[in-house]
Amino acid sequence: MSYIGIVGSGNVGANTAFFIAEKGIEDVRLYDIQEGTAKGKSLDIMEAAPVRRYRNKISGADSLSDLKQAEMVVISAGTGRKPGQRPEDLFEINKDIIVQLARDFKQLNSPGIFIIATEPVDMLTTVFVEESGFVRERVIGLGGILDCTRLNYLVSRELGVSTENIACTVIGRHSNGMIFLPQYSCVSGIPLAQIMDHERIDAIISDIREAGNLIVDMAQRSSAYYAPSAACAELVDSIHMNLRRLFCVSVFLQGEYGYEGVALSLPCIIGKKGIEKVLAPELTSSQKHAFSISVEEIKSILEKGAVK
pLDDT tens string 46-80: 999 999 999 999 999 999 999 999 999 999 999 87
Which residues does residue 263 pair with via DSSP β-bridges, in sequence order? Answer: 252
**Domains and their CATH numbers in the chain:** 4-141 (3.40.50.720), 144-304 (3.90.110.10)
According to DSSP, the β-strands at 190-191 and 245-254 are: unpaired
pLDDT band at 220 (very low <50, low <70, confident <90, very high): very low
Q: What share of the chain has pLDDT > 70, as a percent? A: 93
Integer CA distances (angstroms), 188 to 74, 161, 203, 205, in order? 32, 10, 22, 20
pTM of the model: 0.93
**In this predicted model, what pLDDT tens digit does every residue of 120-179 receive, in sequence order?**
999 999 999 999 999 999 999 998 898 899 889 989 999 999 999 999 999 999 878 889
Mean pLDDT of 91-97: 94
Which residues belong to the active site? 174
| Mean pLDDT value across residues 289-307 | 89
The rounded distance, in Å, linking the Cα atoms of 135 and 189 is 34
- Provide mean pLDDT across the span 248-268: 97
CA distance 229 to 30: 14
Residue 18 CB: number of other CB atoms within 10 A? 21
Whether residue 89 is predicted with pLDDT greater than 90 in this model: the reply is: no
| pLDDT for the residue numbered 287 | 96
3-state secondary structure of 119: coil
* Paired residues of 58 in beta bridges: 28
Q: Name 186's bridge partners.
A: 167, 191
